[in-house]
A = this chain, B = another copy of it.
């Protein structure tokens, strides 16, 4: 997947704090230039979803939210803020699990995650940040803006940090994609002993977002952009729907 000298995961420093909706492409271009980074073939740009959500205005003032009776009831059962639960319900197709303090939802995109991805951290006071309405569309827009600015095909991955069954701690995963194949498919290739590998499909997009999350951090030191250099990327149109397992083939819902 990489050339022999390996990969670099480069954090893009000093990205401005977004307070109001804005056009993200020019800000990303400027940030790359200020970091003296000229994207080149084989690079991939990982973007924390939060700056996309904020640029697109996917932020809600919880003081303005009127929780439904359903949300109030669910908030009581899970010990959460009723206004926050109302927003979570609006973002969800289905509640997958609920217990005290935890609400695992399938969001409008089909992603299964805590609180349907609605997050109070790094939002303003009494605000919550939602996931972008269509992260693939957001990724494609950035892909185009960067192509115009740098004349290079720079795949975009939109990252969020999600918990998982069975394992402690959250990891970066890909929730939006433009310009690259998210998978590396080993099926049909021969292994070291000529036993044909049958089941191995590697989710490169999630691994890249996990790698980028290592340099992004959270909280005060948040860095919302990371450039990954040194991949052998397969450039192609793509969709984050490919990353979601068909519910009929999923044993854990």
- Interface contact A189-B10, CB-CB below 8 Å: no
Q: How many of these chains are in the complex?
A: 2
Q: Is the CB of A192 within 8 A of B6?
A: no
Q: How far is the CB of A156 from chain B (nearest CB, A)?
A: 17
Contact between B9 and A171, CB atoms less than 8 A apart: no
Q: Are A7 and B215 in contact (CB under 8 A)?
A: yes
Contact in complex: A171, B206 (CB < 8 Å): yes
What's the nearest-Cβ distance from chain B to residue A210, in Å? Answer: 4
User: Contact mask A160-181 → B, CB, 8 Å, 1/0?
Assistant: 0100111111111100000000
Query: 8 additional contacts, CB 8 Å, given A114-B199, A191-B218?
Result: A7-B9, A7-B211, A8-B9, A9-B9, A122-B195, A165-B253, A168-B244, A197-B218
Give A172-231 interface residues, CB cut-off 8 Å to B.
172-173, 182-184, 186, 189-193, 195, 197, 199-204, 206-208, 210-211, 213-215, 217-220, 222, 226, 231
Do A182 and B169 touch (CB < 8 A)? yes
CB of A251 within 8 A of CB of B97, answer yes
| B182:A122 contact, CB within 8 angstroms | no
For the complex, what is the distance from the CA of A213 to the CA of B202, rounded to whole Å?
Answer: 9
CB-based contact A104/B251 at 8 Å:
yes
